[in-house]
Amino acid sequence: MAHVVTEPCIGCRNTACVEVCPAECFHIDEQSLWIDPEECIDCKACVPECPVDAIFLDVDVPEKWTHFIKLNEEKAEALPLIFERKEPLS
Ligand code: SF4
């Protein structure tokens, strides 16, 4: 299992989650963050940090966003890691 970033992150990209992650899971693009499922240890530290409730355990992802499970895997593989907080988009 792993945690998954979903739709509400797009255009927000708060990045508070990045600072609490002990496993360096987060990758970034211009609009959103993505979690590498190979690295996530399901500690849940990032979940309460997200102001838009975008992060779910994969088995708990709302049905309308289940395609984000695969998207996180693909995006994390292709995009750079982020280790420090950045200015949110909104
Ligand atoms: Fe990182 Fe823990 Fe969130 Fe996984 S659940 S992305 S290990 S903070």
**pLDDT tens sequence across 42-57:** 999 999 999 999 999 9
Spans of the chain, pLDDT less than 70: none
What is the pLDDT, as a whole number, of residue 87?
94
Q: Note the pLDDT of residue 90.
A: 80
Q: Which atom of ligand 1 is nearest to the CA of 43?
A: 2
Report pLDDT for 36: 98
Query: Alpha-carbon dihedral of residues 44, 37, 86, 30, nearest 10 degrees?
Result: -140
Pocket of ligand 1 (CB under 6 A): 3, 20-21, 23, 25, 35, 40-46
Using the mean position of ligand 1's atoms as its centre, give its distance from the Cα of residue 90 in Å.
22
In the prediction, which pLDDT does 42 show? 98
Say if CB 36 and CB 90 are below 8 A apart.
no
What is residue 81's predicted lDDT score, i.e. its pLDDT?
98
